[in-house]
Chains A and B, each alone.
Chain A
Amino acid sequence: MNRPGLASACAAMLRRDLTLAWRRRGDIAMPVLYALIVTMLFPFALGPEDTLLQRIAGGVVLVTVLLAMLLALDAMFASDIEDGSLEQLVLAPQPLALMLGMKILAHWLATALPLIVIAPLMAAMLHLPGAVIPVLLLALALATPLLSLLGAVLVALTAGTRRSGMLLALMLLPLCVPAVIFAAGAVAAAQQGLPWFAPVAWLAAALVLAVVLAPLACAAALRIALDA
């Protein structure tokens, strides 16, 4: 019996999840639409003054992206649990952590990447200076995978439960505080003309740590949650 190699198994996993995501394009559009609507409401609520909007723009975009991701997080493993393919994955000969890492990557590509793409639009709606937008994008590019990885561990923990939406938010809040602080800190520093490299470096360090540890933790959590 010849097993497929690890690389081809990973590629198959990624292709499958992306195909599934593409078949449900409407679900991908949801978080993007949500983020745009929330961003649009801020000027109405706070008034159209440029200076005020400029000052809060970075934070608003970050928090909105975070909430939009939380909206989609719940569905990360839901359909796979329903049709039993997640249990197949647990039994598969390939290391579960690696396969879950691929699933997280696919989920990030399907939900966070569209959000990053429209982030400049959101920032422009709030009059964020053009020079700051690259820093915002860099911060988002580091913070969103971090959130996907942390969120995946928590989603795996709640895999065996019925109602998990509110619980997920409650559990994610303490974990995402550092990510929000550093991402928003980088944007704020860039806006004030201060060096913004330190918070971005911290975010990158956290991301590297999470890339290594989160899939392992996710696999362990999934084994706990599915083992009845």
Chain B
Amino acid sequence: MASWIPLWLHKLGSPPTFYRFAGVLQPWAMAMALLLGAIGLYGGLVLAPADYQQGDAYRIIFIHVPSAWMSMFIYAVMGVASFIALVWRIKLAEVVAMESAPIGAAFTFITLVTGSLWGKPMWGTWWTWDARLTSELVLLFLFLGVIGLYHAFEDRRQGARAAAFLAIIGIINVPIVHFSVNWWNTLHQGSTVNVFGQSKISGAMLWPLLTVTLATKFYYAASLFRRARTDLLDLESGKDWVRRIAEGEAGR
């Protein structure tokens, strides 16, 4: 086991190092996101054939499903970062957790609205109280709760720790909500909606979907780096390294 890896990770946790590291990676991540997004959406909107049942309406899948996956992925990242922030009190973990929340809320919001726009022509309704939809809505409220709690504190680090605690409670809650809504639906015998049950997805539709998913992953990385850099400047605004940056950019 190379001994420089833990050392490198340890150094990466210090704000100035992370600031520089993120500054180098951010343009590359954004470029990858734009490139893969363009390829994937070209494949999805132009090359992929229309679905034999849903016609062209299914093309919403190329943004809806990647956004849904990202909403859960970002919540998981936020949960892990929150755990690290609470246990080891690493400032960078707090920043990552708290700056992930708005991005996650954005993707959750996109998922809900595009799903609604897809549901109207396909199911004939904008909304149904299906377990998956309800869980996604609850996820949005969890993200909003974390953001709201974070901003309710005057002390930023204290707010970050309280919100991190809430994020961890939320992680336990999501599967419980999913399960209980499932149970509730069987009691009320609601219309069981199954999007993927009827048509198995073909290769021509699958590769654009996966490409856009990868693009959203890169987008998340880029956005997180951007947000974390800004947040670090704000948090550390008394320190010398931030002062040098402020003075360096004074001419612009």
**Interface residues in chain A, defined as those with a beta carbon under 8 Å from any beta carbon in chain B:** 153-154, 157-158, 160-164, 167, 170-171, 173-175, 177-178, 181-182, 185, 188-189, 199, 202, 217, 220-221, 224-225, 227-228
Which residues between 173 and 199 of chain B lie within 8 Å of chain A, taking CB atoms? 173, 176-177, 179-181, 183-184, 187
What is the total number of residues of chain B having a CB less than 8 Å from a CB of chain A?
28
Given A161-B153, A181-B180, A228-B155, A175 and B165 contact (CB-CB distance below 8 Å): no
Are B170 and A160 touching (Cβ within 8 A)? no
On whether the beta carbons of B183 and A185 are closer than 8 Å, the reply is yes
B187 touches A174 (CB 8 A): no
Given contacts A157-B162, A228-B158, whether A170 and B145 have CB atoms under 8 Å apart is yes
A-B contact pairs, 13 of them (CB 8 A): A157-B162, A157-B165, A160-B162, A167-B149, A170-B141, A171-B148, A171-B149, A177-B180, A182-B180, A220-B165, A225-B158, A228-B155, A228-B158
Q: How far is the CB of B17 from chain A (nearest CB, A)?
A: 27
Known: A158-B149, A160-B153, A174-B170. A185 touches B158 (CB 8 A): no
Q: B169 near A160 (CB under 8 angstroms)?
A: no
Q: Is the CB of A189 within 8 A of B153?
A: no
- Closest chain-B Cβ to A56's Cβ sits at a distance in Å of 14
In the complex formed, the residue of B with least CB distance to A171 is B145
CA distance A174 to B86 in the complex (A): 22
CB < 8 Å: which of B161, B169, B177 contacts A153?
Answer: B169
Q: From DSSP, what is the main secondary structure of chain A's interface residues? A: helix
Give chain A residues whose Cβ lies under 8 Å from the Cβ of B181: 177, 181
Give the chain A neighbours of B183 by CB distance below 8 A.
Answer: 181-182, 185, 199, 202
Closest Cβ–Cβ distance, residue A58 to chain B (whole Å):
13
A167 (CB) vs chain B CBs: closest residue: B148
CA distance A171 to B141 in the complex (A): 7
A170 touches B148 (CB 8 A): yes
* B contact residues around A217 at 8 Å (CB): 165, 169
Interface string of B130-156 (1 = CB under 8 A from A): 000010001001101100110011010
Residues on B with C-beta less than 8 A from A175 are 169, 173
A170-B145, A181-B184 known; 10 new pairs, CB 8 Å cut-off, are A161-B153, A162-B152, A173-B138, A174-B138, A177-B138, A178-B179, A181-B180, A181-B183, A221-B165, A224-B161
A167 touches B152 (CB 8 A): yes
User: How far is the CB of B153 from the nearest CB of chain A, in Å?
Assistant: 6
CA distance A178 to B181 in the complex (A): 8
Which of B86, B142, B145 touches A167 (beta carbons < 8 Å)? Answer: B145
Evaluate contact between A174 and B149: CB separation under 8 angstroms.
no
